[in-house]
Amino acid sequence: MKEIVEKTGLSKGAFYHYFISKEQLFLEALDYFFTNVMTHIYENYSKESFYKFYHDYANEVKAYCNRFVTIFKEEENDGKFGMNYFTLAFDALKLFPEFKDKMILEQEKELKTWIDVVSSARTNGEIKSSLTDEEIAQIFLFVGDGVSMHMIMEGIKIEEMINPILTFWDKLYETMKA
Burial 84-95 (b: 16+ CB within 10 A, else e): eeeeebeebbee
Q: What is the pLDDT of residues 135-174, one digit of tens each?
A: 999 999 999 988 888 887 787 776 688 889 999 999 999 9
137: exposed, middle or buried (Cβ count in 10 Å: 0-12, 13-18, 19+):
buried
Minimum mean pLDDT among 18-22, 24-28, 70-74: which range? 70-74
pLDDT in tens, 37-88: 678 889 999 989 999 999 999 988 888 777 766 666 554 455 455 566 677 7
Look up the pTM and report it: 0.82
CA distances 117 to 18, 39, 113, Å, are: 42, 18, 6
The Cα–Cα gap between 81 and 46 comes to: 29
Mean pLDDT comparison of 28-42, 79-93, 112-126, highest-scoring range: 112-126
